[in-house]
Structure 1
Amino acid sequence: MSKVEQQNRQSWNAATLAHNSHKGDQAQFFRRGGSTLFPEELELLGELKGRSLLHLQCNCGQDSLSLATLGALVTGVDIADEAISFATALSRDTGIPAAFHREDVVQWLRQAASQGLQYDIVFSSYGVLCWLPDLRAWAQGVASVLKPGGRLVLVEFHPFALCFDEHWALKYDYFNTQPMVFPEGVGDYVAESGEGLLLSGETEGMQEFENPHPSVEFSWGLAKLVGVLLEAGLRLRKLEEYPYSNGWKGFKQMHEGPGRRMYAPVGQAGVPLMYGLEASRD
């Protein structure tokens, strides 16, 4: 694991403890039939019953278990020790089966391909690509573990939206190719988003969380993403852009619409805040 990946691993370990401190009794939420999935993911994913599904950057496994309740045979991979530990415990406590692995996703994909592992669906969502130092290696890894006819489903925050700071001022270069260091590390976006990300009931949790570990992010434009997927031999089947973000209230004065969709302030020109993509291996 590189120095950058190790740095991000530490930052995510600290942030994960803060995030889960706000989320109430998550095991009870799932035992009562709860799901953390949004309609956009479900529409792109389609029928899941009996499908083998690889969930990359699965975080603490809430979406993974939601997918498993729909009949998918789920394997989750994430770089953060705290996330995988929590996901494994949540699977055990809910009785919802899923397998979880702590590893850098590109390294894990290489190992899986060497073992001949293949999946019907590879899925990833929300704030994932910015943590990948090598997008081409990720795309090739995804293609290597998809069965013929298998699909990549990605729902992600739009790279243009990530050019703004929290006050909607353009700050970051869309075409930046250099790593960006954030001394403040991964923040407590769960607390900042409130009910948008707190389906299992809110608890006070950690207050005024400060991450002791800086983080490093990478900027990947939409054309770059599509290019590396095509280069890896995948066929683009669908690409949708949305004027809202699901659950995440990442900017000031965002207003919430139906279904926990977060929109730009009233009166502000709309910009794409999220996109959904489906690509397949022929």
Structure 2
Amino acid sequence: MTNEFHEKNRLSWNAATAAHNSHKGDQAAFFRNGGSTLFPEEVELLGGIDGLDLLHLQCNSGQDTLSLARLGANVTGVDISEEAIRFARDLSAQAHIPATFHRADLLTYFTEQARTPGRYDRVFASYGTLCWLSDIDAWAQGVAHSLKPGGRFVLVEFHPFLMIFDEQWEMRYDYFDHSPIASDGVSDYVALSREGLVPDGYEAGFEAFVNPHPSVEFFWGIGDVVSALAKSGLLIEQLREYPYANGWKGFDGMHDSGGRRMVPPQDTVRLPLMYGIAARRPE
């Protein structure tokens, strides 16, 4: 069933990626003019990456990948979507920022790369990645095997506690239910978040997008993620929680508190909306 789930998600992401990029205008010009899609949190956790070999997991259409390359890293991006990788390669060429991109199911990629472990100084993933993984332990092992001794893994992700709420902030979903979650497909969350996810000016693009392909998501709590990384042999150096979500307006009434940090309505108590992890492979 895992392969069937991943195949559904590949098709769903192919459709959604085209919709997402339709809102972003001339991205090549954005990058040629010095633009970056990174937020301060991931830059801080990564530290200096100039001259380092970096693996970007679930890189989507490559915008963050190219932003990392602009900081001096030798970056390889991996994503399950053909549409995303095609766009990323074109964007890399048009922006004149070199990077390497591979189209692969991430867990399959890790299995194939197990023959050549320890290739990267940094491994990085961010924002809405873990919910597409059917096996968190295999993921963590792949991360660990990809790192050179002394290399670091950085994850910035939306907080799983947030996922107990429906879009109207009503508690509806069981935090401890790990059953696969079927949905109507990857949404056009860029249209929902608008300027939050489009720093160079939002465009209408595809309107009222409906994904023709359903998708399947998986829920992993922070305990699942940290335990998987620890079991893989990585040392957890930092675990941070943030009361805002970078860029993403996933719930009613969310607004920009400054710097594209999205927060709940003003009458809502502060909640953990995002978290970051930095982990190191021992020397």
Written as runs of structure 1 = structure 2, the 5 A alignment for 1:249-264 is: 249-264=249-264
Identify unmatched segments of 5+ residues in structure 2.
none
The answer for the alignment partner of 2:279 in structure 1 is 279
Report the secondary structure of 2:204's partner residue. coil
Report the secondary structure of 1:160's partner residue. helix
TM (norm. structure 2) is 0.98
The answer for the alignment partner of 2:16 in structure 1 is 15
Distance 2:201 2:253 in 1: 23
1:25, 1:201 within 8 Å by CA — same for their partners in 2? no
The answer for the alignment partner of 1:79 in structure 2 is 80
The answer for the alignment partner of 2:94 in structure 1 is 93
Distance 1:201 1:263 in 2: 21
1:160, 1:272 within 8 Å by CA — same for their partners in 2? yes
The answer for the alignment partner of 2:107 in structure 1 is 106
Distance 2:251 2:160 in 1: 14
1:124, 1:154 within 8 Å by CA — same for their partners in 2? yes
Distance 2:186 2:166 in 1: 15
**2:267 is matched by which residue type in structure 1?**
G
1:118 Cα offset (Å): 1.1
**1:3 is matched by which residue type in structure 2?**
E
1:110 Cα offset (Å): 1.7
1:54, 1:121 within 8 Å by CA — same for their partners in 2? yes
**1:230 is matched by which residue type in structure 2?**
A
2:42, 2:156 within 8 Å by CA — same for their partners in 1? yes
Written as runs of structure 1 = structure 2, the 5 A alignment for 1:215-254 is: 215-254=215-254
Identify unmatched segments of 5+ residues in structure 1.
none
Distance 1:28 1:268 in 2: 39
The answer for the alignment partner of 1:268 in structure 2 is 268
1:255, 1:266 within 8 Å by CA — same for their partners in 2? no
Distance 1:162 1:87 in 2: 29
Distance 2:118 2:105 in 1: 17
Report the secondary structure of 1:271's partner residue. coil
The answer for the alignment partner of 2:196 in structure 1 is 196
1:200 Cα offset (Å): 2.6
TM (norm. structure 1) is 0.98
Distance 2:115 2:176 in 1: 34
Report the secondary structure of 1:2's partner residue. helix
**2:241 is matched by which residue type in structure 1?**
E
2:14, 2:84 within 8 Å by CA — same for their partners in 1? yes
Report the secondary structure of 2:279's partner residue. strand
Is the deviation greater in 269-278 or in 200-209? 200-209
Distance 2:271 2:200 in 1: 30
Report the secondary structure of 1:213's partner residue. coil
1:244, 1:272 within 8 Å by CA — same for their partners in 2? yes
The answer for the alignment partner of 2:205 in structure 1 is 205
Aligned length, in residue pairs: 281
Written as runs of structure 1 = structure 2, the 5 A alignment for 1:55-204 is: 55-116=56-117, 118-182=119-183, 184-204=184-204
Distance 1:255 1:93 in 2: 33
1:219 Cα offset (Å): 0.5
1:56, 1:122 within 8 Å by CA — same for their partners in 2? yes
2:246, 2:260 within 8 Å by CA — same for their partners in 1? yes
The ranges of structure 1 where at least 4 consecutive aligned residues each deviate by more than 2 angstroms after the TM superposition are none
2:49, 2:73 within 8 Å by CA — same for their partners in 1? yes
The answer for the alignment partner of 2:38 in structure 1 is 37
**CA distances 1:40-82 after superposition (whole Å, capped 9, x unpaired):** 0010000010010000000000000000000000000000110
Distance 1:178 1:134 in 2: 12
1:117 Cα offset (Å): 5.3
**1:222 is matched by which residue type in structure 2?**
I
1:58, 1:76 within 8 Å by CA — same for their partners in 2? yes
**CA distances 1:107-140 after superposition (whole Å, capped 9, x unpaired):** 1112122134510000000000000000000000
Distance 2:245 2:226 in 1: 21
2:118, 2:149 within 8 Å by CA — same for their partners in 1? no
Report the secondary structure of 1:258's partner residue. coil
Distance 1:9 1:24 in 2: 24
The answer for the alignment partner of 1:53 in structure 2 is 54
